[in-house]
Amino acid sequence: MTTLQQILGTELPLIQAPMAGAQASAMAIAVCNEGALGSLPCAMLGPDAMRSELAAIRAGTDKPFNVNFFAHTPPTPDEAREAAWRAALAPYYAEFGIDPAGIPTGPGRNPFSAEVADLLAEFKPPVVSFHFGLPPESLLAKVRGWGAKVLVSATTVDEALWLEAKGVDAVIAQGLEAGGHRGHFLSHDLTKQLGTFALLPQLVRALKVPVIAAGGIADADGVAAAMALGAAGVQVGTAYLLTPEAMTSALHRAALKSEAARHTALTNLFTGRPARGIVNRVMRELGPIGPAPEFPLATSGIAPLRAKAEAQGSGDFSPLWSGQNATGCREVSSAEVTRALAKGFR
Ligand SMILES: Cc1cc2nc3c(=O)[nH]c(=O)nc-3n(C[C@H](O)[C@H](O)[C@H](O)COP(=O)(O)O)c2cc1C
């Protein structure tokens, strides 16, 4: 069977999870140069930023790297849901002296598109990964056109089988422990979501393509445990959040280092899709699952509250993304985190 390293072209079957808003080329380069697969999250990058980040990676490493995109279908705005969302936030707008009439509506994150595929073709990234399913076949064909390998998150056996039937090169088993957005796309029923060590062996049994374990893996022992359950490799996110290469804010870093990081929950309040973060005031008072419009439309309503609160040194309205296991977060370089995790491949 083809190993994950052969598919990725890396020395190690280790992927630094793409983390939109929390890292960019600097972390990807550091990880690639350690023999693992560094990732550039592109969900929140416009074309100019994407181009300069890709150029930085090409200049910083000659190793394979991954670029990551969201593959959601943009929702039709729903006035009633938007109104309910603004009503839920109204007391906070009043508290912070924000005029709600001045808050624009609109998306916060764009899905993979033909324009982006054409931009990527200039750089030919060897690996492209998607979250929230796959883009349309015509766009995928463009990615395949330069020979990229395609990885996609699956959160259930049904999603994994669906992805395998579409010809993806490997499936990322994203367990419920994982930080950031859940990657589910066939069903929005959260009761169908499984923990990493329940999901992983089921996918290993059901699939012919390699399965990459993600969620709650924080150190070499976690890596070894995932490999013992049949993973072909691992993808780790949260453990990189305190590194100097991460763009994690000071507030977010403080939360990750505190006892608060022991309590995370899935919340839809920041974007409209369930994502795992450290429980904070808005999650406690309105959720964690609350009356938010569909992804990514919730982002604009909460953005001014986040900005005001952060200016006062508070993370009460910020997404403090974290997996359930933040014990691997250390203030060391991304290279060092990578080397420590690599010791799990025994
Ligand atoms: C801060 C943060 C941001 C994330 N952003 C993305 C993203 O942009 N794209 C993606 O595919 N996954 C994203 N994820 C999820 C990761 O791919 C992965 O599933 C997760 O980090 C694994 O669990 P762990 O955080 O416990 O290691 C993010 C995770 C975190 C912690």
User: Within 10 A of 222 (CB to CB), how many other CB atoms are there?
Assistant: 22
Give the position, in ligand 1's atom list, of the atom nearest the Cα of 325: 26
Write the pLDDT tens digit of every residue in 224-266: 999 999 999 999 999 999 999 999 999 999 999 999 999 999 9
Q: Is the pLDDT confidence value at 105 over 80?
A: no
Pocket test for ligand 1, best of 19, 27, 219 (most atoms within 8 A of CB): 19
User: pLDDT value at position 182?
Assistant: 98
Which atom of ligand 1 is nearest the CA belonging to 172? 19
Closest approach atom of ligand 1 to CA 214: 22
Please tell me what DSSP assigns to residue 72: P
Q: Where in the chain is the domain with CATH 3.20.20.70?
A: 1-72+109-241+329-346
Which residues line ligand 1 at a C-beta cut-off of 6 Å? 17-20, 22, 41, 43, 68, 131, 153, 174, 177-181, 214-217, 235-238, 321, 323, 325
Burial class (CB in 10 A: 0-12, 13-18, 19+), 99: exposed
Which residue's C-alpha comes closest to atom 7 of ligand 1? 19
Q: What's the pLDDT score for residue 209? A: 98
Instruction: Say how many Å lie between the CA of residue 162 and the centre of ligand 1.
Output: 21
Distance CA 45, CA 28 (A): 15
Does the pLDDT of residue 152 top 80, yes or no? yes
pLDDT at 346: 85
The pLDDT value given to residue 106: 66
Rounded to the nearest 10 degrees, how much is the dihedral formed by the CA atoms of 297, 179, 129, 53?
Answer: 80
pLDDT in tens, 14-30: 999 999 999 999 999 99
What pLDDT does residue 2 have? 86
The residue nearest atom 13 of ligand 1, judged by CA position, is: 19
Task: Encode pLDDT of 166-200 as tens digits.
Answer: 999 999 999 999 999 999 999 999 999 999 999 99
Give residue 114 CA to ligand 1 midpoint distance, Å: 24
Residue 294 is given by DSSP the state: S
Tokens, residue 150 = 């395609």
Atom 15 (ligand 1) nearest CA = 180
Residue-level pLDDT at 107: 61
Say what percent of the chain tops pLDDT 70: 99
141 Cβ partners below 8 Å, 6+ apart?
none
For the chain, the farthest-separated pair of C-alpha atoms sits apart, in whole angstroms, at 61
Instruction: Quote the pLDDT of residue 109.
Output: 81
Q: What is the CATH number of domain 1-72+109-241+329-346?
A: 3.20.20.70
State how far the Cα of 150 lies from the Cα of 164, in Å rounded to an integer. 11
Mean pLDDT of 193-218: 98
pLDDT of residue 217: 98
Tell me the residue type at 118. Answer: D
Confidence at 344, pLDDT banded by 50, 70, 90: very high
Return the best residue to mutate from 23, 70, 112, 181 for the ligand 1 pocket (most ligand atoms within 8 A of CB). 181
Q: What percent of the chain has pLDDT over 90?
A: 95
- Supply the pLDDT for residue 108: 66
Kindly report the average pLDDT of the chain as a whole number.
Answer: 96
**Which residues make beta-bridge pairs with 37?**
15
Atom of ligand 1 nearest to the CA of 248: 1
pLDDT category of residue 81 using cuts at 50, 70 and 90: very high
Pairing of strands 127-131, 149-154: parallel
Please name the helix (run of DSSP H) or strand (run of DSSP E) that holds residue 181, with its range, or none. strand 180-181
Q: What is the pTM of this model?
A: 0.98
Nearest CA to ligand 1 atom 29: 180
